[in-house]
């Protein structure tokens, strides 16, 4: 639990900069529209305040977690114990520079990944088309090596700037992050991504625009974008597709409380209205059990659980 003294320390650190709240309702900050209150909710105004926050939390031995734009998480109905640091940055814009035949973009971790990708595509830069519809922040995308339609973060990421658990700043080449399918070493290393550098190629604007429009149409056609969700719920098991397994198990439209396996795409669990974290977790457990019983395949959730 956060003590009154610790609340005062954090309050003094934030003052009139950044956002400092207690008992912040998390349903308002997640795309699932689910979750109880965060005991302590912080949104740093800049990297300096973020680094000071991390150092204070370390010195006080306080429990803390990170949230981007809440697109790949499920928050407990009881809420989040300790401190939640919200990294969403709606004002940042990429900084571009040209070196040889590459264009490098430096982006803050809290910037929308789809916003960055669209900006790059609008400038006629290729290689980020796949990300124009991926919800989430740049930092969150890097942590899980986000991808879609044949593209992944690892394809164009060159370097990340991080804070360590001690508040130390490091610049790490992308190849040292061991990026693979929905994995990086960032969480286990205790790193907090603050910025990233991507490398892209100049391309034909009309070709790039056509690709973006094609992918956008495919998303609208195949994904249940009209309902709150956390995106794709399960990782792709090797040799299979999660949605196909769930459909073949007869679970299309399967419902627990307000949570449902999407009838449009069985790889998505949606909030049909009033769903709780308990509903979603029970549904995920049922899907895992039934798919394993029928096909011997273990489905691993892609969504992260925060409590």
Instruction: Please check whether residue 218 lies inside any domain of the structure.
Output: no
Catalytic residue from among 24, 129, 159, 302:
302
Which H or E element spans position 224?
none
Instruction: Please check whether residue 219 lies inside any domain of the structure.
Output: no
CATH number, domain with residue 135: 3.30.465.10
191 and 100 inside one domain: yes
57 and 159 inside one domain: no
185 and 110 inside one domain: yes
Q: What is the CA radius of gyration of the chain?
A: 20
Instruction: Please check whether residue 217 lies inside any domain of the structure.
Output: no
Q: The tokens of 98 are what?
A: 């040209």
CATH number, domain with residue 232: 3.90.78.10
Q: The tokens of 4 are what?
A: 């009154």
- Alpha helix (H) ranges present in 64-185? 113-122, 138-143
pLDDT at 212: 95
* Residue at a domain's end among 59, 86, 113: 86
104 and 175 inside one domain: yes
Q: The tokens of 27 are what?
A: 């349903």
pLDDT at 90: 80
Helix, strand, or coil (residue 292)? helix
* Residue at a domain's end among 54, 86, 118: 86
In the residue annotation, 209 being an active-site residue is answered as: no
Q: Helix 113-122 to helix 205-222 angle, to the nearest 10 degrees? A: 150
In the residue annotation, 232 being an active-site residue is answered as: yes
165 and 269 inside one domain: no
Instruction: Please check whether residue 189 lies inside any domain of the structure.
Output: yes
250 and 278 inside one domain: yes
Instruction: Please check whether residue 253 lies inside any domain of the structure.
Output: yes
279 and 182 inside one domain: no
Catalytic residue from among 182, 205, 209, 219:
182
* Residue at a domain's end among 86, 120, 137: 86
Catalytic residue from among 159, 232, 262, 281:
232
Structural domain boundaries, residue 52: 4-86
191 and 114 inside one domain: yes
Asked if residue 67 lies in contact with residue 306, where contact means CB atoms within 8 angstroms, the answer is yes
In the residue annotation, 221 being an active-site residue is answered as: no
Phi-psi region of 79 (alpha: psi -120 to 50; beta: other; left: phi over 0): left
CATH number, domain with residue 72: 3.30.43.10
- All residue ranges of the chain with pLDDT < 70 are none
265 and 187 inside one domain: no
75 and 103 inside one domain: no
Domain count, the chain: 3
82 and 100 inside one domain: no
Q: Nearest Cα to 108, choosing from 160, 171, 143?
A: 160
Instruction: Please check whether residue 14 lies inside any domain of the structure.
Output: yes
Instruction: Please check whether residue 67 lies inside any domain of the structure.
Output: yes
174 and 197 inside one domain: yes
Instruction: Please check whether residue 205 lies inside any domain of the structure.
Output: yes
């Amino acid at each position: 639990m956060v003590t009154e003294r610790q609340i005062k320390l954090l309050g003094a650190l934030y003052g009139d900069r950044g956002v400092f709240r207690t008992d912040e309702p998390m349903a308002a900050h997640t795309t699932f529209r689910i979750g109880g209150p965060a005991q302590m909710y912080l949104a740093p105004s800049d990297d300096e305040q973020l680094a000071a926050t991390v150092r204070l939390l370390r010195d006080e031995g306080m429990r803390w977690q990170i949230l981007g734009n809440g697109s790949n998480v499920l928050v407990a109905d009881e809420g989040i114990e300790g401190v939640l640091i919200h990294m969403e940055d709606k004002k940042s814009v990429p900084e571009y520079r040209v070196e040889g035949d590459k264009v490098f973009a430096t982006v803050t971790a809290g910037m929308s990944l789809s916003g960055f990708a669209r900006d790059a595509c609008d400038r006629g830069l290729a290689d980020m088309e796949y990300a124009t519809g991926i919800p989430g922040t740049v930092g969150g995308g890097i942590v899980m090596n986000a991808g879609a339609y044949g593209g992944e973060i690892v394809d164009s990421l060159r370097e990340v700037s991080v804070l360590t658990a001690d508040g130390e700043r490091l610049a790490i080449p992308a190849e040292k992050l061991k990026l693979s399918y929905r994995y990086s070493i960032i969480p286990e290393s205790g790193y907090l991504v603050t910025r990233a550098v991507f490398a892209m190629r100049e391309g034909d604007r009309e070709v790039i625009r056509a690709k973006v429009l094609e992918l956008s149409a495919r998303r609208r056609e195949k994904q249940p974008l009209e309902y709150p969700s956390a995106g794709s719920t399960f990782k792709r098991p090797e040799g299979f597709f999660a949605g196909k397994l769930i459909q073949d198990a007869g679970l299309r439209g399967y419902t627990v409380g307000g949570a449902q396996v999407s009838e449009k795409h069985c790889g998505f669990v949606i909030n049909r209205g009033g769903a709780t974290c308990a509903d979603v977790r029970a549904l995920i457990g049922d899907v895992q059990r039934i798919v394993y019983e029928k096909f011997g395949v273990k489905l691993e959730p892609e969504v992260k659980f925060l409590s």
